[in-house]
Chain A
């Protein structure tokens, strides 16, 4: 039974990041609950076949958050213990950004602004095939700087892709600083509504609220694509990483790794 426990996912991320000496920890932490709830309760997958033609789609457009998805794919059994334990070792297959050659990863992203278009194509394909598949796409808020996102938004609304659920990880930071200081995004929910989406803003770490939003949007086939703006905390789960943009780039030391793991263990003992 897969639980997709958020604390466990964060531990996997930390262990991967530590053994691989990689960055983008904060970017992965902010989307843990969005992915955990999706994999646990909503994504229709065939465990025996990651490429099953009837699967729901999840396109991780903010490809730099991919460690969070790797942890979920490991839990599904599509990635091995070795994949996780040998992260970034020479000759291994998991890269630092989402890569469509990995089972369960739908699009190659990390170059930003690509994933929503691919997701839009998948959603359109489901419409043309008259299937009931839902296509989820997860973008970062900084990624909304990319023009192609808004091309895709226009397209999705025009073609009435109500089977497309877009999640915006609104953690308020992008590579060089707070989104408000780099390129202010204004009211993201209102923007998507103006583009013809049903849109809602929720707490991106409250699993019950996330679950309810997915349940409502995937069931609402009203001719309008959906946008969930998930307000989140970059680095969520480890106090010294939270809202500290250094953890976009910083690698773990033995000390910070141990301290972060210790915090997560404390959280775990508190979880009923």
Chain B
């Protein structure tokens, strides 16, 4: 996935000399190919993220297409106001890359973990929010971001979970991409690293349909309506807070539909990580590892299939 990211950056820079890569002194080794191919289009802005986003806005006003790279804890969270006012208010073509999103920096603690970034940015008008799950989605989301010519936040999380698609995909803004069909009347909607988990869950007996959501905002209401029309329950999975992320987007959307539908939102439950450890360890701490998720989904399905109105519209096990 990181190679796909690097390849997409290099291709974009080679195709258009107005594409500039700005980094807040992050991305060691990741940008080697870019710096070799187009050194004059690479700008290290130093450890000064607020200025970097303002500079990107100025460059974009003058016709450049800046791609701003930082860790998700800093871009977009630290620079939220610059994104809102300098970039989005004028709908400038700036692509903001937030790398290491979720619990990737598991050993470094709360400062570098990012489980609130989607919630922070998605209420900003003009901003598209993308969240690729594998190398094919990375390529497709980068292509989409460059085509849009408007502000984009591209969230890059755990990048080594393997492919969720068999090959390259085409992607429109808002589109959900099905990665598995299912016999059960249950849909798993996941984004980023958790698409793989959703696939594994479905493959290990749940037999639900699985959708990847690489476009968090916009999110196709029509596609969601089609999915909800044929299932009895939805499970959302994300390496992000259950507040304001994918689960919230889906719940908000479904709440406006005619048919009530129980939704189980699986994500980080409004808390910081307590412990140090590997990424897998922190998934367990947050009950986002496969066995924990399976347990939670089973409990949700048990609730859904009981008589009477569904007890829970959110996962409250």
- A122→B51 contact, CB < 8 A: no
Q: Write out, one digit per residue, whether chain B residues 73-88 have a CB within 8 A of any chain A CB (1) or not (0).
A: 0000000011001100
- A117→B59 contact, CB < 8 A: no
- A151→B62 contact, CB < 8 A: no
Closest chain-B Cβ to A225's Cβ sits at a distance in Å of 13
Q: Which residues of B are found within 8 Å of A116, using beta-carbon distances?
A: 54
CA distance A122 to B51 in the complex (A): 12
- B54→A100 contact, CB < 8 A: no
- B85→A120 contact, CB < 8 A: no
Query: Whose C-beta in chain B lies nearest to the C-beta of A121?
Result: B58
- B59→A121 contact, CB < 8 A: yes
CA distance A106 to B90 in the complex (A): 10
A148: Cβ under 8 A from any B Cβ = yes
CA distance A117 to B59 in the complex (A): 10
A228: Cβ under 8 A from any B Cβ = no
Q: A100-B90, A155-B45 are in contact. Are A108 and B85 (CB under 8 A)?
A: yes
CA distance A108 to B58 in the complex (A): 12
Q: A120-B51, A151-B51, A155-B46 are in contact. Are A53 and B82 (CB under 8 A)?
A: no
B89: Cβ under 8 A from any A Cβ = yes
B35: Cβ under 8 A from any A Cβ = no
- B90→A124 contact, CB < 8 A: no
Cβ-neighbour of A124 out of B46, B48, B59, B86 (below 8 A): B59
Cβ-neighbour of B63 out of A53, A100, A155, A158 (below 8 A): A53
Closest chain-A Cβ to B251's Cβ sits at a distance in Å of 32
Q: A101-B90, A125-B63, A147-B50 are in contact. Are A155 and B81 (CB under 8 A)?
A: no
Q: Write out, one digit per residue, whether chain A residues 25-55 have a CB within 8 A of any chain B CB (1) or not (0).
A: 0000000000000000000000000000100
- A124→B89 contact, CB < 8 A: no
Q: Write out, one digit per residue, whether chain A residues 119-142 have a CB within 8 A of any chain B CB (1) or not (0).
A: 111111110110000000000000
Q: Write out, one digit per residue, whether chain A residues 59-89 have a CB within 8 A of any chain B CB (1) or not (0).
A: 0000000000000000000000000000000
Q: Which residues of B are found within 8 Å of A117, using beta-carbon distances?
A: 50-55, 57-58, 82, 86
- B62→A148 contact, CB < 8 A: no
Closest chain-A Cβ to B195's Cβ sits at a distance in Å of 36
A-facing residues in B26-46 (Cβ within 8 Å): 43, 45-46
- B63→A123 contact, CB < 8 A: no
- A152→B62 contact, CB < 8 A: no
- B85→A148 contact, CB < 8 A: no
- A154→B46 contact, CB < 8 A: yes
Q: Which residues of B are found within 8 Å of A256, using beta-carbon distances?
A: none
B210: Cβ under 8 A from any A Cβ = no
A107: Cβ under 8 A from any B Cβ = yes
A188: Cβ under 8 A from any B Cβ = no
Q: Write out, one digit per residue, whether chain B residues 265-308 have a CB within 8 A of any chain A CB (1) or not (0).
A: 00000000000000000000000000000000000000000000
Q: Which residues of B are found within 8 Å of A129, using beta-carbon distances?
A: 62-63
- B54→A108 contact, CB < 8 A: no
A204: Cβ under 8 A from any B Cβ = no
Query: Whose C-beta in chain B lies nearest to the C-beta of A100?
Result: B90
- B64→A128 contact, CB < 8 A: yes
- B86→A125 contact, CB < 8 A: no
CA distance A270 to B93 in the complex (A): 51
A111: Cβ under 8 A from any B Cβ = yes
- A100→B59 contact, CB < 8 A: no
B71: Cβ under 8 A from any A Cβ = no
Q: A117-B82, A155-B45 are in contact. Are A148 and B64 (CB under 8 A)?
A: no
A118: Cβ under 8 A from any B Cβ = yes
CA distance A129 to B64 in the complex (A): 10
A224: Cβ under 8 A from any B Cβ = no
B56: Cβ under 8 A from any A Cβ = yes
- B61→A118 contact, CB < 8 A: yes
CA distance A154 to B47 in the complex (A): 11
Q: Which residues of B are found within 8 Å of A121, using beta-carbon distances?
A: 54-62
Query: Whose C-beta in chain A lies nearest to the C-beta of B44?
Result: A158
A113: Cβ under 8 A from any B Cβ = yes
- B85→A152 contact, CB < 8 A: no
- B86→A155 contact, CB < 8 A: no
- B51→A152 contact, CB < 8 A: yes
4 closest Cβ pairs, A-B complex:
A121-B58, A117-B54, A125-B62, A151-B51
Q: State the B residues within 8 Å of A (CB).
A: 20, 43, 45-46, 48, 50-64, 81-82, 85-86, 89-90
Can you spell out 16 A-B residue pairs with CB atoms less than 8 angstroms apart?
A: A53-B62, A109-B85, A114-B81, A118-B54, A118-B57, A119-B58, A120-B51, A121-B54, A122-B58, A123-B58, A128-B20, A128-B64, A148-B50, A148-B82, A152-B55, A154-B48
Beyond the given pairs A114-B86, A126-B62, 8 more chain A to chain B contacts, judged by CB atoms under 8 angstroms and listed by A's residue number, are A101-B90, A108-B85, A114-B82, A117-B57, A119-B58, A121-B57, A121-B58, A123-B58
